[in-house]
Structure 1
Amino acid sequence: MDIHLHNTKTRKKELLEPVTPGRVGMYVCGPTVYDRAHIGNARPVIVFDVLFRLLRHVYGADAVRYVRNFTDVDDKIIARAEESGREIGDITAETTAWYLQDMAAVGALEPTEMPRATEWIGAMVAMIEGLISGGHAYEAEGHVLFRVRSYEAYGALSGRSVDDMIAGARVEVAPYKEDPMDFVLWKPAKAGEPGWDSPWGAGRPGWHIECSAMADALLGQSFDIHGGGNDLMFPHHENEIAQSKCAHPEGEFARIWMHNEMLQVEGKKMSKSLGNFFTVRDLLDKGVPGEVIRFVFLGTHYRKPMDWTEKKRQEAEATLRDWHAVCDGLQPDLHPGTEVAGLLADDLNTPGAISALHGMFKTVRAGTLKPERFLGAASLLGLLTPELSEWCEQPITIGSVTAPRKFSAFFQIAEEVGVRWQALRSTKAWEDSDGLRFEAAEAGISLVAGPDGVLVTIRDDADPAKLEALK
């Protein structure tokens, strides 16, 4: 199956042609680990997890190498350590574990490699030395800076010239810079800050060099796909390209660049000042299943802004409950056909794939498609997997009614029975109320009068035909 992906670098959809035939390498910029991941941070994780699954499906699991880094040395991390009085290593270890737990909760597979910046300082120093010797970087007052104008193609990814960038951006113009656009490759460590020995004194790397060095070490001078949020296009990805191409002019660095759009909440930009900022863990702790979060995200194409809304959450949960009900206890067909895979192979058309799953579900309900094939197709999106299904195995409570998920279609009937029973009790029609309670019990519904009203429970052994007869 051919895979076509939109390449930010060329502004068009291109056929994925691996550098090494039959094998694919992908690098995605990971988190700076100093706090919980907010919901927007989960979008690139889910987007590129779907691509990872598709690549494994097409090329084989052993033929795909997916690298996603952890930035574990950074000004924000140092500031958090100073505020809290905790050791930097303790903070980064804790927040890295949080990140992995939260991303697993939304169904993300762990990448093949998850390098931590602090483990690759030597590779960064070596790359910086090569850039200096090639005339692309220079030392100044303990810093090492990249000489932007030494790379003629700088700005090609974001589509801007260096002069336009200077005119339109707020650029820190330190006195030791040759040019306002030059950026830091190495900075001296201040007293009390973490630092590593280097030819330029004790210090630490700039943010951009870590991804170039780790991508080179783990994927080579030329690899297939580089991804991340579109907020990273400039300056981070632009700087990565410049460093890597100057360090290894014979290499391509990344052939295809992919960028996902940003996330909104109820039509507004997510921000703490608007009170609509929340983390993945906030949603999970409020009872929003990770699979529901994933489903909502996949309903919007990765290159379009995504809007998280309560309505979408409710619709996603209802849909997934229905889908789980027909797949309970089944094993997925590992060859589910090409429709969903074909849509994903067309620049990760996840909305189209979700629509196709809706169509497949109808044919499953009509008895003309085996649910195992539907389950296999859904698993290409990371949905209906055993890891994400536990939430749907728990009893559902909606209003006054609690029931196993397999009886979700009978919620309204059970609720109406509860209303009728309460009405009979309120008029002291005891004989009729006892008769209704007995009839409900025979069908598998328990009615209990509580201080806040009637509590209705559909038992696990309920009879669907008798439940239907209670209408």
Structure 2
Amino acid sequence: MLKIFNTLTKKKEKFQFSYSEKINIYVCGVTVYDLCHIGHARTFIVFDIIKRYLEYLGYKTCYVRNITDIDDKIIYAANKKNESTDVFVERMIQLMHQDFLCLNLKNPDHEPRVTKCIQDIISFIESLFNNKLAYIDDNKDILFSIKKYNSYGMLSRRIKQCCLNKNKSHSVSQFNQSDDFVLWKHRINKSDPHWISPWGPGRPGWHIECSAIINKFFKNGVNIHGGGIDLLFPHHENELAQLKSIKSSFSIKFWIHVGMVIINNHKMSKSLFNTVLVRDLLKKYDPEVIRFYVLSTHYRHPLIFIEKNLNASKNILNKIYISLLRFNSSIINSDYKIKLRNTFKKKFFSAMNDDFNTPKACLILQNLSQYITKIKKSSDILLYNSLSKDLIFFGNILGLLNHDPKSFLSSSTNRVLVSNSNSNIVQKLVRMRDIYRQNKKWNLADIIRKKLLKLGVTVQDKHERSTYKFIYEN
């Protein structure tokens, strides 16, 4: 059974829902003031995997991912480009969609823009006023009153226990009025984008946007709500406070948060000028390599970004595709040596059911690929093809192994470029390997075979001499 770590309870919980029930998923989307970076890629690849896996298990899903298309940063960036916010936002959303398409992310079922949900936001704020949780400050902004919501801080564990006596204690928020957050910003500059509201011209604050959109699409609650760990506080804490203030019974069953990306011992941040853009990575690496790299670290752990690890992921994925080069889908028996094949299947799904343990699942792909490589040398073609089919099936659940092996290995981002000097080295290594084989020094011959593989060369043995071929050759 699938178990998922719930940020709210700080423990893994069983994912127990009826298969007739549609699983509602809400993920905080991008604020489109700049190009997408590896942090965005990681978060949305993780939730892409979650959606794929739930659908494999037989669940129907409704995945909503919003777009924040109005924000101080957006206004500033548009002004800097001498563009209207509308023109700037349209361009940035197009670029975001291009990146997500390249990363093979499944489209959300709904992708609401904040500016298309203004009336929903206004109605939500009116409900907060009716429940005495909103007020107008001296600047004519509308704020949420934290002190009037008794459970504020529960999600992020920012409530402290205060002892009344030896036997009783009560929870006290660490916050005061200065921590109240904006629901509606009163217009200051006439040139800024604004909307008419009962409180005058203005625009929504950030936190109210997601709460209103969730309330619009999922009035009865959310099964999974997620985003990056940096959103836990204050964004998700504020979302929960607003939703519960409107409807105390509103439930978010699972909170899932994705770890930060760390570069040179610092959190990746535009303010530190250390962001790595998705489109820059796509110039050098196949989207599947980026996905494999992201999935090689558990989603709750920080991702330490080091480019050599991306190259390592590229080499691993190349080897997996190499093991599939002779795959023939027409030579398969679904029941052939099923006990052996089920050992890999059990390990793979055990990993995925353990809070989407993709690093372990990726390791199982590698192990199965290595086993297939050994089988390829034998005459058991049926087992080779059956295991290869299983490998592709597991990979597809992770959004991997969607390409023809030859096409993948011959692409400019994946193939190993061989210089003339390397070509001479290859010839020398092949001749040396032949000598070892003639003298029955099989271990030494196998070591050279592995070295050749790293150079992008496969070897086919024939009696006393071997032939070789570069992987990317047609």
Q: TM-score, normalised by structure 1?
A: 0.79
Check the 8 A contact 1:34/1:76 in 2, yes or no.
yes
**How far apart are 1:300 and its partner, in Å?**
0.7
- Secondary structure at the aligned position of 2:294 is classed as helix
Counterpart of 2:213? 214
Counterpart of 1:229? 228
Instruction: Give unpaired runs (5+ residues) of structure 1.
Output: 168-178, 402-410, 421-456
Counterpart of 2:411? 394
- 2:78 aligned with 1:64, yes or no? no
Matched ranges for 1:321-340 at <5 A: 321-327=318-324, 337-340=345-348
Counterpart of 1:126? 123
Check the 8 A contact 2:460/2:468 in 1, yes or no.
no
Instruction: Give unpaired runs (5+ residues) of structure 2.
Output: 161-171, 335-341, 376-382, 431-454, 470-474
Post-superposition CA distance 1:306-350 (Å, at most 9, x none): 112222112111111122233357669999944323311211101
Counterpart of 2:169? none
Post-superposition CA distance 1:401-458 (Å, at most 9, x none): 6xxxxxxxxx9776433999xxxxxxxxxxxxxxxxxxxxxxxxxxxxxxxxxxxx99
In the alignment, which of 74, 79, 83 is matched to residue 82 of structure 1?
Answer: 79
Counterpart of 2:47? 48
Counterpart of 1:366? 374
Query: Distance in 1 between the 2:405 and 2:71 partners?
Result: 33
- Secondary structure at the aligned position of 2:178 is classed as coil
Identical-residue share of aligned pairs (%)? 34
Matched ranges for 1:272-421 at <5 A: 276-285=274-283, 287-327=284-324, 337-367=345-375, 368=383, 369-386=386-403, 391-394=408-411, 396-400=415-419, 415-417=425-427
Task: For 2:40, give the aligned amino acid.
Answer: N
Check the 8 A contact 1:8/1:157 in 2, yes or no.
yes
Query: Distance in 1 between the 2:47 and 2:392 partners?
Result: 21
In the alignment, which of 90, 93, 114 is matched to residue 93 of structure 1?
Answer: 90
Post-superposition CA distance 1:101-144 (Å, at most 9, x none): 21222232111111111111111111110010111111234321
Task: For 2:427, give the aligned amino acid.
Answer: V
Query: Distance in 2 between the 1:81 and 1:276 partners?
Result: 22
Taking a change above 3 Å as real, the CA distance of residues 67 and 330 of structure 1, as seen in their structure-2 partners, is farther
**How far apart are 1:464 and its partner, in Å?**
4.2
**How far apart are 1:208 and its partner, in Å?**
0.6
Q: TM-score, normalised by structure 2?
A: 0.78
- Secondary structure at the aligned position of 1:468 is classed as strand
RMSD, aligned α-carbons: 3.3
**How far apart are 1:263 and its partner, in Å?**
0.9
Task: For 1:294, give the aligned amino acid.
Answer: R
Query: Distance in 2 between the 1:245 and 1:19 partners?
Result: 25
Post-superposition CA distance 1:47-66 (Å, at most 9, x none): 11111111111124xx1011
Taking a change above 3 Å as real, the CA distance of residues 225 and 470 of structure 1, as seen in their structure-2 partners, is closer
Counterpart of 1:185? 183
Check the 8 A contact 2:33/2:74 in 1, yes or no.
yes
Count the aligned residue pairs: 409
Matched ranges for 1:392-471 at <5 A: 392-394=409-411, 396-400=415-419, 415-417=425-427, 464-465=460-461, 468-469=466-467
